[in-house]
Chains A and B, each alone.
Chain A
Amino acid sequence: MENNEYLEVFIEESKEHIQSLNDQLLILENEPENMDTVGEIFRSAHTLKGMAATMGFQDLADLTHKMENVLDAVRNDQVKITSEIIDVIFQAVDQLEGMVLDIAEGGDGSSDVQELVNTLQAIESNQGFEKVNESTTNTSINTTNTATSDQAHFDRLDQFELAILDQSKENGFENLEVTVKLNDNCLLKAARVYMVFEVLEQIGEVIKADPTVQELEEENFDLQFHVLLVTKDSAEDVKQKILKVSEIEEVIVSTFEQVASAQEHNEEKENVEKQSNEGKESSNNKTTDESKKKAAKGVASKTIRVNIDRLDGLMNLFEELVIDRGRLEQISANLKHAELQETVERMSRISGDLQNIILNMRMVPIEQVFNRFPRMVRQLSKDLGKKINLEIVGAETELDRTVIDEIGDPLVHLIRNALDHGIETPEKRQEAGKNEEGHLLLEAYHSGNHVFIEISDDGAGINREKVVNKAVSNHVITEEEAKQLTDKEVYQLIMSSGFSTADKISDVSGRGVGLDVVKNTIESLGGTITIESEEGKGSLFSIQLPLTLSIISVLLVEVEKEKYAIPLSSIIETAIISKSEILNAHNKEVIDFRGKVVPLIDLKNVFEVPTEEEDDELYSVVIIRKGDKMAGLVVDTFIGQQEVVLKSLGDYLGDVFAISGATILGDGQVALIVDTNTLIN
């Protein structure tokens, strides 16, 4: 099967489109009048349909086709969006997702879609789909009204094609959309197609065909096909020339316009006045292109897939370049040659920009994972009969791609858990004097060398007694051990293997796999998970993940002759204090920092820096924090703020105390990155 090599791409892209459908549907539910959203949903469905049909997944294509029809009806104001319709479409999207997953697992993606197709059909026809489109009326060249579902034939042009269209327009060519319908009893369809194409290629250039040329050659189409043609001939000429080919039933030629909600199958010139309502979209291909690009950026950004190994390679090469850049900078500073200095400065600037781009390429906003949750929470809250308000904060927080790929499932599990066991039913919540609507907060943020993802709910919290009893009865711990445990340790128990047992499987969370799986996954990523909870008030699951490979902003400091980097995210501020401000408490040096007692940590001692004993009157202090605890790191000098690449110290050294990694500075030297979290305890 030659399709196999495309299968992966198909699955990936289908998933993206399904995600986009989910997102946009949620928006649409809140803003039923938002036609941009409908348009976006329509495009996703349309692309999905096209891909499914190409790959031969008929059921998938059928279902999306029906969905597309309903959406088209919505778009043309023939159907009003209601919650019921959204529900049905969501069901359809769910089924689509199921089918795609089936395909991903090697299945054929077939599924009984008849019921949904019928429901969709009912929605579509109920509301008088036969209403004629106002703007596609008659023109001088007999442009007939084509079915609404035809309109989107060429709505997905790539940059190259758009560029050609643009350019041809500027050079006085016409961009024509030609629809050719063959005779019902045409026997050699492919032959006719060939002849039509021969005619077309004589008078101009075919930019795109729908179905594709290959499909056409294989007679893989009904009776009708569409071609995008760039020519100098008039529409009427083109039409006449094509009609010379025998067994052609009908030819429709119209000017092609790049409009998202395209309704023009009409000759442009004659239509300008008629299309007053669409004036801003037509008449100038260029502006339409631009507005389309903008729209595309807003809703579905353009991406290309790159193997992560290539990015690694690029990054390594670039780092070598950075080192040479550092040398060059030094050399030019020494030589003081004006022209050289200028060039090197310029190069530094450019390579600095380049650096940012390369580093950022590996980073993906966690949004990619988060954006499937609103949909999930909506569904779960319906299933569980609970009212839940999901709040997402920090979706733009960036994480390394490899971590993003892994973190999805654990989060799903934790959210299910919070909804199922955490947040109570509306009745119970009222009894407890809480707001009926439960609050689930999903928050992501950078701190130190880590990304934190927190899931907190204002539900029932964890009952210590229950957990202890269960842990004891499941032989996770003994009763003696249980008495020794702190609350935090007790909460950790719910994530130990063997804690979750089969007798408590609920539809939502307990699927036989316990939270221990979540814990294992997170630990395999080098992260940790902690639980805080207060009975009756709610729980907080906090996941701490390392930024395996990422850029962080650091403050470079000097301790004697050594340079260290302190992650900016853990720094509150820097201060210079005089010796007299240092107080002693329990044999520890502390300072009074804005009304708080903050212990001082001398980096010289922590890192055993060789020193020439020399007492300064003034101390440079970096105030750092971990949660609500603070500490002051005493250093010699602040060098400045810098963006650096976090690198591992390598397997040979393993974990080094209070050092989370290293980075390479502009001059090629290595600076160690301080792990502030281990310094505060």
Chain B
Amino acid sequence: MEETTSNHQSIIIELDKEEYAIPVEVVGAIERMQHITRVPKTANFVKGVINLRGVVTPIIDLRERFGMEKAEHTESTRIIIIHMENYDVGFIVDAAYDVLYIPEDAIEPAPQVIGTVDSDYIGGVAKVDKRLIMLLELQKVLSQESYQAAFLGQEG
């Protein structure tokens, strides 16, 4: 077995025809679309909460989080449950694929402008088998500051 500097096993998700990677360690489950209870007076990308095996889990629509165009939910729409240190959240994504091994040397720093997603949320770009995969920076996507900013921005 060859030693690599770091392990980049990732779940590949699709958002607006682009592929993003979420480290496999933080993914708790991949759920089908289900009933979401709306929570009033929250940021608009917070779709509400679901009951995930007894834990009330907030659900974020990643498309809306990144300011992409809204899309109808389809058969392939999935909810990716992410375990953060103090809480769980779920991401609504267009589709979730298999686990992909991303070699360290395939990763490059994120260019300043990538599609529609604010480059702050992208930790790097990897090229694997001619696929261009963006690595999500979860800490930033979920940070309180960015949540508050988004929420207040929409209020004001």
Contact = CB atoms under 8 A, between A and B. Distances in A.
A455 B145 CA distance: 40
A608 B40 contact: yes
Nearest to B60: A652
Contact of A671 (B37, B86, B147): B37
Interface in A624-681: 647-654, 656-659, 662, 664, 668-672
A497 to B, nearest CB: 27
Given A649-B56, A649-B58, A652-B147, A668 B51 contact: yes
Interface string A192-211: 00000000000000000000
Contacts of A505: none
B53 A672 contact: no
Interface residues of B, number: 26
B41 A320 contact: no
A108 interface: no
A361 interface: no
Nearest to B50: A670
Interface residues of A, number: 29
Interface in B79-135: 84, 86-89
B42 A562 contact: no
Contact of B142 (A607, A652, A669): A652
B64 to A, nearest CB: 15
A319 interface: yes
Given A651-B86, A651-B87, A656-B40, A669 B35 contact: yes
A649 B147 CA distance: 15
A323 interface: yes
A562 B87 contact: no
Nearest to B48: A670
B38 interface: yes
A659 B37 CA distance: 13
A670 B86 contact: no
A653 B39 contact: yes
A409 B55 CA distance: 33
Interface string B6-40: 00000000000000000000000000000101111
Interface in B45-61: 46, 48-51, 53-58
A659 B49 CA distance: 13
A604 B145 CA distance: 29
B145 to A, nearest CB: 12
A164 interface: no
Interface string A556-571: 0000001100000000
Contacts of B142: 652
Most chain A CB within 10 A, of B39, B54, B58, B142, is at B54
A562 B40 CA distance: 11
A649 B41 contact: no
Contacts of B147: 652
Contacts of A670: 37, 48-51, 56
B37 to A, nearest CB: 4
A68 B71 CA distance: 79
Contacts of A651: 86-87
A515 B49 CA distance: 39
Nearest to B35: A669
A664 B56 contact: yes
B51 A669 contact: yes
Most chain A CB within 10 A, of B35, B42, B46, B89, is at B42
B41 to A, nearest CB: 4
Given A668-B51, A670-B51, A656 B39 contact: yes
A609 interface: yes
Contacts of B35: 669
A664 B86 contact: no
Interface of B: 35, 37-42, 46, 48-51, 53-58, 84, 86-89, 142, 144, 147
13 contacts: A320-B53, A323-B53, A607-B40, A608-B40, A648-B56, A649-B39, A650-B49, A652-B58, A657-B40, A658-B40, A658-B41, A659-B39, A662-B49
